[in-house]
Structure 1
Amino acid sequence: MSKQDRLIVTDTTGQEVYLIVGKWGRVGDKLSVFSLDGERLIDVKQVILSLFPKFRLFKDGNKIGSLKKRPGLRGIKNPFFTITRLNWIITGNYDKQQFTVSRFGKKIGTIDKSVTYMGEFYCVDFIKEQDIPVALAIAVLLDHYAVSKSSVLKKYQQEKYSLSFIHAIWMKIKQTIWKKVKIK
């Protein structure tokens, strides 16, 4: 996701519902989330480039919050994100790319990455539909923190040339074997 400048977002039925355009990684870069009828829903602008970057979120040209990466309790190892004004806290497992979004201690949604034989996907599941455009922009930013992009790319390249569903099962077996070897 982080290497593309356009993403089409589909719902669970496969209908295209949103378009994400832009890039990030430099101060001043911007991501925008659009509905398919062309309405700009959210803009995210990078304002600080560092180990703990900061982004500003805008809706209809008005600032609705700031997204900031913060160090975790164990320092840099388990960081989390906050979105001021929206009062969101985004925590999760960066290895598995599974995140929970909470507001005032109550879970309001999840952002989870899946890697299948068809490629990489994020599943964004929120209680309120109005939160989804912000969550989509957050998913693109979180993708940058994927632990092992090269191994995901390698898996994708292997899966790209697979002509059967057995390949996905074989990849799962290889992962299980590799985990056992790493542990010992």
Structure 2
Amino acid sequence: MVLLYMKQDYVSKHEKILVKNELGKDLYLISGKWGRVGDTLSLYSIDGTMLVKVKQTVLSLLPKFDIYIQGKRAGSITKHRNLKNVYFKVAPLDWMVTGDFYNHAYTVRCKGQLIMEMNKSYTSFGDYYTLLIPEAQHAPICICLALIVDDLTLTRLPDVARKRFIRAIRPLYSIRKALI
């Protein structure tokens, strides 16, 4: 089981990101940019070896990213929408990403088996994303997937839309708090 941490400030700003383990040791470095067609995101081990490269191939409401491992296309990440929710698929791995994207709490599963769980953690050193990955060999793809999903979630709405959303849920929160 692997437990990894990424600082939220760096993820939000699309800066170089260090991924650490639970002891605070740097394990991975992420560089590149994403958000436009042709942009690439590269994941390196801390010794400088490139592990995964992700390239955006479709820019739309339902974008697509191709995953490359050792220079060969290994699959793609696509965003989907059904009547109720947004979700992501990783093909041909059959991974499905679902959860509460507003609060950065989601899981990646393959036919019911947990591949990754991501949550937001609040510490005195800042806000971090916590990635719990049961199988270490999935860690590089899961890290890239976490960055892409975070970037494409609805928390990246313009400030006006985000304020409207917060105003809409605030009364529900007050009612719930009063009932407790």
Gap runs ≥5 in structure 2: 1-10, 160-169
Partner of 1:164: none
Q: Does 1:20 align with 2:30?
A: yes
Which of 99, 112, 116 is 1:109 aligned to? 116
Note the alpha carbon deviations across 1:13-67, whole angstroms, 9 max, x for none: 1000000101101000000110001110000000001111100000001111100
Asked if structure 2 preserves the Cα contact closer than 8 Å seen for 1:112 and 1:123, the reply is yes
How far apart are the structure 2 equivalents of 1:19 and 1:59? Answer: 16
Which of 90, 96, 103 is 2:103 aligned to? 96
Asked if structure 2 preserves the Cα contact closer than 8 Å seen for 1:64 and 1:86, the reply is no
Note the alpha carbon deviations across 1:56-90, whole angstroms, 9 max, x for none: 0000011111000000342xxx1100000111111
Partner of 1:137: 144
1:138 deviates by: 1.3
How far apart are the structure 1 equivalents of 2:19 and 2:171? Answer: 34
The TM-score, its normalising length taken from structure 1, stands at 0.77
The TM-score, its normalising length taken from structure 2, stands at 0.78
Instruction: Say which is worse superposed, 8-17 or 133-142, in terms of deviation.
Output: 133-142
Greater relative CO, 1 or 2 (CA 8 Å, sep 6+)? 2
1:177 deviates by: 10
Amino acid at match of 1:55: F
- When residues 119 and 93 of structure 1 are mapped into structure 2, their CA distance, relative to the original with a 3 A threshold, is same
How far apart are the structure 2 equivalents of 1:148 and 1:61? Answer: 30
How far apart are the structure 1 equivalents of 2:171 and 2:124? Answer: 19
Residue 102 of structure 2 aligns to a residue in which SS?
A: coil
- RMSD over aligned Cα atoms: 2.4
How far apart are the structure 1 equivalents of 2:46 and 2:15? Answer: 16
Asked if structure 2 preserves the Cα contact closer than 8 Å seen for 1:45 and 1:57, the reply is yes
How far apart are the structure 1 equivalents of 2:25 and 2:148? Answer: 23
Asked if structure 2 preserves the Cα contact closer than 8 Å seen for 1:71 and 1:79, the reply is yes
1:180 deviates by: 1.6
How far apart are the structure 1 equivalents of 2:70 and 2:31? Answer: 16
Give the aligned length. Answer: 156
1:126 deviates by: 1.0
- When residues 97 and 56 of structure 1 are mapped into structure 2, their CA distance, relative to the original with a 3 A threshold, is same
Gap runs ≥5 in structure 1: 151-175
Q: Hey, which bits of structure 1, 4+ residues long, moved more than 6 A?
A: 181-184
Partner of 2:92: 85
Amino acid at match of 1:86: L
Q: Does 1:32 align with 2:39?
A: no
1:140 deviates by: 1.2
Residue 57 of structure 1 aligns to a residue in which SS?
A: strand
- The percentage of aligned residue pairs carrying the same residue is 35
1:178 deviates by: 9.5
Partner of 2:155: 147
Residue 32 of structure 1 aligns to a residue in which SS?
A: strand
How far apart are the structure 1 equivalents of 2:127 and 2:50? Answer: 25
Residue 142 of structure 2 aligns to a residue in which SS?
A: helix
